[in-house]
Amino acid sequence: MSNEEDRRLFRETVGKVRRYRSELSSSRRQPPAPRLRPLEHHPRALPTDPLSEVLTHPADPGAVFQQVFARWEIQYSVAGSGDVCDIALAHGLNCLEGNGTWSTIRQYDRPTLLHLRHDDGTKEYVLVTSVQPRQVTIQRGTDEFTLSYQALERVWFGRFLVFWRPPIEVTRIIKQGQRGADVLWLRKQLDHVDGIDHSVAHSTLFDAALTRRVQDFQRHHHLDPDGAVGARTLIQLKSAVADSTIPRLLPNPEQV
């Protein structure tokens, strides 16, 4: 190889080295790629407790009784005194107090007072104004709130108070062997339920055949088929016949 070729190769090599260094230096001077900020994590807020929002403080008992009487179009003075069941009786209503489940409340199908007991020992009544398959509507003051059965079961342990209007003909438990206007009313009411023409004369005697009819009615409505007509059977008999004067919990009685 001649000296001239050596010099040419040297110059080409030197040129390549310079270009490489220049490119390397240029790449080092580039601003660094922006660093990605880590995604910010915002914890999802847990849903607020609907029960705590509604039951912020115990309701005034007088106001609650006023609300339930208003459903029956009865004036009740919050400032009044006396036993609430005595007041109800003076207006033609009876009291039924007991323990039960949501099925019980649905079966009675009347505005119902639930007796609640809070964790701190506080007790109060709330008025149930509507019942659906999985939720219930309660009234607090002028507002109504819908809660799930499960939410209310945290403070409701089955105690309830329900008002109902008995037929004026009935003032006792009706059972076999008795005779009177209340027995005649019972026969006609069962005729209504069974779709029987009740224009014909009926006996005022509570006989064995009538007992069997009462038992059939009680079984159909999941009552104790003892054949005697007490408060629970009377409520169901009144519910079985359309009556716009009765305040109801269920928009459709067939839901029972």
Q: How far is CA 161 from CA 21, 38, 66, 68, 236, in A?
A: 94, 59, 14, 11, 16
CB 256 within 8 A of CB 203: no
Catalogue the long-range contacts made by 138-144 (C-beta closer than 8 Å, 24 or more residues apart): 138/54, 138/114, 139/67, 140/54, 140/55, 140/59, 141/59, 141/63
119: closest CA among 149, 150, 156, 147? 156
**Contacts (Cβ under 8 Å, ≥6 apart) of 253:** 109, 239
Task: Record the tokens describing residue 170, joined without a space.
Answer: 């009935």
Measured CA to CA, the distance from residue 172 to residue 151 in angstroms comes to: 38
Question: What pTM was estimated for this model as a whole?
Answer: 0.74
Task: Record the tokens describing residue 213, joined without a space.
Answer: 């009819």
- The pLDDT of residue 191 is 93
CA 103 from chain centre, in angstroms, equals 11
Largest CA distance in the chain: 145
Domains with residue ranges and CATH for the chain:
50-164 (3.90.70.10), 181-255 (1.10.101.10)
- The pLDDT of residue 242 is 82
Task: Record the tokens describing residue 117, joined without a space.
Answer: 């007991």
Successive 10-residue mean pLDDT values, the chain, 256 residues: 51 51 50 51 48 75 91 84 88 95 95 92 92 91 88 94 94 97 95 82 92 98 96 95 90 59
